[in-house]
Chains A and B, each alone.
Chain A
Amino acid sequence: MKHYSAFAVAREALRYHTGWERAWRSPEPKKKYDVIIVGAGGHGLATAYYLGKNYGIQNVAVIEKGWLGGGNTGRNTTIIRSNYLQDPSAAIYEKARSLYEDLSQELNYNIMFSPRGVMMLAQTQHEIRGYQRTAHANALQGVQTEWITPERVKELVPIINIDGPRYPVLGALWQERGGTARHDAVAWGYARACSAMGMDIIQQCEVKGVRSENGRVVGVDTTKGSIDCDKLGMVVAGHSGQLAEMAGFRLPLEAIALQALVSEPIKPCMDVVVMANTVHGYMSQSDKGEMVIGGGTDAFNNYTQRGSFHHIEETVRALVETFPMISRLKMLRQWGGIVDMTGDRSPILSKTPLGGCFINCGWGTGGFKSIPGSGWGMAQLMATGHSPLTEAFTLDRFKEGRFIDESVAAGVAH
């Protein structure tokens, strides 16, 4: 792997950019790997990366049905924060956020992490109490957040209307070290680093079956033939249920569409991420100048990667009231991704009933921000059989009633 640097740019400029090489190889699958990761999105690639980097397991294949980072990794609104209420959530999301801080240097790939601050507006009395509670919880968890007044909100976001008739801004939970990153670059950066370690990233390769012997996984059947493995990691978000069925177990998940949209690019007007959970909309401005907008999920099961128009309308209607200046903006693109929701809205990172098979799913609407932490914990779980980051997120927590209940903890919208 050639090192990216200012010197490399200058060198290539002098020779008509003929010296750049492909960021990752696209090999044919080998007969056998120590570990196969299914799903070359952010979480899958991060898992492979930390398996290699932290545990020296480099005989790894990451196989992907479509193209690298083409699922929810390329469909999210790129927000990174860790202001969760429950301890296990705060731990894994804060690990992720802290890894994001120097990920560009670590991967030698500019993921454009921008710690611009994430603000969650409180627009009802209930939310004030909820977010103040979260701020206290975060202080105990070692996550830096603070409760700020409406005046401070206005100071940080001059375009906001804090005196809305229906939902005035009453304050906000402010995480200064949260922000955004370039989502595709996260997947590409991990892929490049994995490839450099000798791992095989195999795209256009769909898993058709999971083979097992004596209750232990021995390989997968794919559209590019059978591949053997000692350990299997399933990291496929929306289609986790289908993959688990092939492996002979079921998951407590439902697949639902979540949408996002971007406006035409405008001059810089808002340099923080603002989330308004009561009205269900959130917005940030990308480096290109587009306003990146997200909202709520549809209520019904859906695998089509396209959602209902009226949710877009509801989201935009709410945001126009909070940000009157966006009312004349044209929206350029709108898209949907399939998120896998668990009963308690927290992810599953766990061993499974099938020996040697591990699952990482259920991130629901909040997967992007957790990519490095999820990969870190999942790699530890797969390599050593236990990880303090993932121990609360087991598959059997539902049976045992140990929920990590972010769904009623306010701050669940992503």
Chain B
Amino acid sequence: MLILNCPYCGVDAEESELSAGGEAHLKRFGPGSSDVEFHDYLFMRENPKGVHFERWRHSNGCGKWFHAVRCTQTLEVFGTYSAQTTEPPKELKDAITAKRPGWTWREYE
């Protein structure tokens, strides 16, 4: 079972205590954006076989949303971090690079 550490309450929460919220760090496009931007925002996901940044909610716990980085090929969890950010923290990115050299995610690497 997937276990993620909630960065807000510090609990190592089991998957059944959490709700998956899909891909993280989406750039939102609304009125005024182009059709392609709006389409990509709504439907196009990175869906990588490898490093995946995603949102989770500690729904049966403290109720807070947070971010997690996971490998979709091995289910390895690289870490979790606050939702109050638009970019993963540097130390986490370094930790992923140590384990998965050459990973990329949109503008991050």
Contacts and interface: CB of A to CB of B under 8 A. Distances in A.
B62 interface: no
B42 A343 contact: yes
Contact of B47 (A254, A299, A308, A398): A254
Interface string A264-305: 000000000000000000000000000000000011111110
Interface in A195-239: 239
A300 B20 contact: yes
A11 interface: no
A141 B52 CA distance: 42
B54 A301 contact: yes
A22 interface: no
B102 to A, nearest CB: 15
Interface string B57-92: 000000000000010111100000000000000000
A26 interface: no
Contacts of B19: 299
Nearest to A340: B47
A308 B43 contact: no
Interface residues of B, number: 23
A185 to B, nearest CB: 30
Interface string A101-125: 0000000000000000000000000
B1 A398 contact: no
B2 interface: yes
Contacts of A255: 47, 49, 72
B42 A308 contact: no
A249 B96 CA distance: 26
Contacts of A44: none
B72 A299 contact: no
Contacts of A299: 19-20
Contacts of A300: 2, 20, 54, 70
- Scoring B15, B39, B72 by chain A CB atoms within 10 A of each residue's CB, the highest score goes to B72
- Scoring A250, A300, A303, A399 by chain B CB atoms within 10 A of each residue's CB, the highest score goes to A300
Contacts of A310: 1, 15-16
B45 interface: yes
A241 B47 contact: yes
A303 B73 contact: yes
Contact of B73 (A241, A304, A343, A399): A304
B47 A304 contact: no
A253 B47 contact: yes
A300 B20 CA distance: 6
A301 B74 contact: no
B2 A252 contact: no
A299 B44 CA distance: 17
B87 to A, nearest CB: 20
Contact of B45 (A242, A254, A308, A399): A254
Given A255-B72, A304-B74, 7 more contacts: A241-B49, A250-B44, A254-B47, A301-B72, A308-B15, A309-B1, A343-B43
26 contacts: A239-B49, A241-B47, A241-B49, A250-B44, A253-B45, A254-B45, A254-B47, A255-B47, A255-B49, A255-B72, A299-B20, A300-B20, A301-B47, A302-B75, A303-B49, A303-B72, A303-B73, A304-B72, A304-B74, A304-B75, A308-B1, A310-B1, A310-B15, A310-B16, A398-B43, A399-B39
